[in-house]
C-alpha cells in the first residue's frame, strides 16, 4: 500500500505519448484517452476490491425506491440519492472509508491536465478554490455488470460547482453526454475505455449524462477484471455537516 503513491507521482506516468488523445466533448467536458497506465489501472482495480471489502459493502442505491443496476460504494462521503453522509445509514450504519491523500492528488493532477489547454482566466471560474486546484473530498466507486446501465441524470447533490473527475476501468461503455436542459437531444455518445479520464465542469458541469451500455468482453487483460466495468468519480461535494449524525 505504501508504494502506491509513487505509481501515480512518477513524472513519466503523468502522460502517455503513445496513443494519447484529447477529445473536447463540450466546453469544460474533456476526455483524455489512456490517461492511466496499465499498471495504474490494475492498481485501481485491486484497490477497488479492497475498498469494496468494507466496512461498507457495495450496494445498489435506490432511486425513487427502485434499485439501480450499478453497485456503488463511496469514500469520504457516502452517496445516497439526494444526500451525502459520513455514515452509510441505508446499508449497514458503518462510516465510509476516508479519501486517501494519493487519490486526492491524482484527482488534482487529472483536473489540471484535462483543463491545461483552457486559458486560466476561463477555467479559473470553474473551481471553488482561488488557486484553481481541484481537491476532492469524496469518491464514488461504481461497478457495472455487463447488463448494468445508468440513466440520464445530472450530478447536482454537491454543494460546490467544482468539476467531476471520472476514471474508467475494465469493460468499455457507451457513455452519453447531453445538454444542461433535459435528458433528450442534443447529446453525444462516446465510448469510454479502460484507462480513460473524463472531466466535466464549468459550462458542462450540470449536463445530463448516463451510461447506455457496457460493451462485453472489452476489458484489457492488464486490468485483471474479467467481467464488467468500474467507474471512479472524484468530487468536491463541499459538505461540512452530516445531517445523519444529528439523529
Ligand X SMILES: O=C(O)CCC(=O)C(=O)O
Chain residues that interact with ligand X, rule: CB under 6 A: 140, 142, 150, 155, 166, 175, 209, 211, 231, 233
Q: Which lies closer to ligand X via its Cβ, residue 59 or residue 132?
A: 59
Cell of 128: 471553488
Instruction: Write the CB contacts of 155 (distance below 8 Å, at least 6 apart in sequence).
Output: 164, 205, 206, 209, 233, 235
Q: Is 242 annotated as a binding residue?
A: no
Q: Are strands 22-26 and 71-75 parallel, antiparallel or unpaired?
A: unpaired
By a kind-dependent CB cut-off of 5 to 8 A, residue 219 interacts, out of Fe ion, ligand X, none, with: none
Among 137, 155, 171, 196, binds Fe ion (CB under 5 A): 155
By a kind-dependent CB cut-off of 5 to 8 A, residue 211 interacts, out of ligand X, Fe ion, none, with: ligand X
Task: Say which residue the cell 479502460 belongs to.
Answer: 194
Instruction: Write the CB contacts of 101 (distance below 8 Å, at least 6 apart in sequence).
Output: 5
DSSP string, 205-241: TT--EEEEEEETT---GGG---S-EEEEEEE------
CB of 100 to Fe ion, least distance (A): 22
- Which residue number is nearest to ligand X in terms of Cβ? 231
Residues 27-56: x/- map of binding to Fe ion (CB under 5 A)? Answer: ------------------------------
By a kind-dependent CB cut-off of 5 to 8 A, residue 85 interacts, out of ligand X, Fe ion, none, with: none
Q: Where are the alpha helices (DSSP H) in the chain?
A: 4-9, 38-52, 101-114, 120-123
Q: Which lies closer to ligand X via its Cβ, residue 109 or residue 229?
A: 229
Cell of 73: 460504494
CB of 189 to Fe ion, least distance (A): 16
Running DSSP on this structure, what letter comes out for residue 168? E
By a kind-dependent CB cut-off of 5 to 8 A, residue 150 interacts, out of ligand X, Fe ion, none, with: ligand X
By a kind-dependent CB cut-off of 5 to 8 A, residue 47 interacts, out of ligand X, Fe ion, none, with: none
Question: Is 162 an interacting residue with respect to Fe ion (CB under 5 A)?
Answer: no
Q: Which lies closer to ligand X via its Cβ, residue 88 or residue 211?
A: 211
What b/e readout covers 204-234, taking b as 16+ CB neighbours within 10 angstroms? bbebbbbbebbeeeebbeebebeebbbbbbb
Q: Which lies closer to ligand X via its Cβ, residue 62 or residue 122?
A: 62
Question: Is 137 an interacting residue with respect to Fe ion (CB under 5 A)?
Answer: no
Q: Find, among 129, 99, 95, the residue nearest to 112 by Cα.
A: 129
* Binding residue ranges for Fe cation: 153, 155, 209
Tell me which residues touch Fe ion (CB under 5 A). Answer: 155
Amino acid at each position: 500500500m505504501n508504494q502506491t503513491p509513487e505509481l501515480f507521482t512518477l513524472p513519466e506516468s503523468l502522460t502517455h505519448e503513445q496513443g494519447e488523445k484529447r477529445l473536447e466533448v463540450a466546453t469544460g467536458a474533456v476526455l483524455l484517452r489512456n490517461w492511466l497506465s496499465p499498471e495504474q489501472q490494475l492498481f485501481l482495480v485491486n484497490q477497488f476490491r479492497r475498498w469494496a471489502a468494507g466496512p461498507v459493502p457495495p450496494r445498489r442505491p435506490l432511486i425513487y425506491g427502485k434499485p439501480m443496476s450499478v453497485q456503488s460504494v463511496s469514500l469520504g462521503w457516502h452517496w445516497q440519492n439526494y444526500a451525502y453522509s459520513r455514515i452509510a445509514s441505508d446499508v449497514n450504519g458503518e462510516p465510509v472509508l476516508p479519501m486517501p491523500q494519493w487519490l486526492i492528488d491524482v484527482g488534482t493532477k487529472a483536473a489540471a491536465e484535462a483543463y491545461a489547454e483552457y486559458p486560466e482566466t476561463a477555467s479559473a471560474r470553474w473551481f471553488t478554490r482561488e488557486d484553481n486546484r481541484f481537491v476532492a473530498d469524496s469518491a464514488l466507486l461504481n461497478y457495472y455488470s455487463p447488463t448494468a446501465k445508468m440513466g440520464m441524470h445530472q450530478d447536482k447533490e454537491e454543494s460546490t460547482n467544482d468539476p467531476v473527475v471520472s476514471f474508467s476501468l475494465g469493460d468499455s461503455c457507451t457513455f452519453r453526454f447531453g445538454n444542461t436542459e433535459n435528458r433528450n437531444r442534443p447529446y453525444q455518445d462516446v465510448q469510454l475505455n479502460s484507462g480513460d479520464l473524463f472531466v466535466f465542469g464549468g459550462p458542462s458541469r450540470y449536463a445530463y449524462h448516463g451510461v447506455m451500455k457496457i460493451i462485453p468482453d472489452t476489458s484489457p487483460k492488464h486490468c485483471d477484471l474479467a467481467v464488467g466495468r468500474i467507474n471512479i468519480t472524484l468530487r468536491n461535494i463541499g459538505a461540512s455537516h452530516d445531517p445523519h449524525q444529528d439523529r
